[in-house]
Amino acid sequence: MPCFQIDSQTTITFSNCYRIRVEKEGYCKYVYIEWMDWVGPTFYHDRACNRWYQDWYEDDDVNYAFVQFANKYHDKLYKGG
């Protein structure tokens, strides 16, 4: 997580959280992604990024939505644009 240190005991962290729409079998849901440059994406079920989405890579609909998202925002995600 991006962070900066104020003093020897205080560190403030920031994260880039994104929401992607996943269309699945006639309905849609949202998956939240926290993006860290050195780790990549971490998926969550909720906007507060508390409920980790385990085994997201086995869900073809989530994978498809993520690939579309990554292709569209590649430059922003990798700080190139």
pLDDT tens column, 20-70 = 889 878 888 889 888 777 777 889 998 888 899 988 889 899 999 889 888
Q: Is 36 helix (H, G, I), strand (E, B) or coil?
A: strand
The yes-or-no verdict on residue 1 having pLDDT over 50 is no
Q: How confident is the model at residue 81 (pLDDT cuts 50, 70, 90)?
A: very low
Q: Is 66 helix (H, G, I), strand (E, B) or coil?
A: helix
The yes-or-no verdict on residue 80 having pLDDT over 60 is no
From CA 54, how far away is CA 45, in angstroms rounded? 9
| pTM exceeding the 0.85 threshold for the entire prediction | no
Per-domain residue ranges of the chain: 3-77
The region that residue 21 occupies, defined by phi over 0 for left and psi between -120 and 50 for alpha, beta otherwise, is beta
From CA 68, how far away is CA 65, in angstroms rounded? 5
Q: Report the pLDDT value the prediction gives residue 43, as an integer from 0 to 100.
A: 92
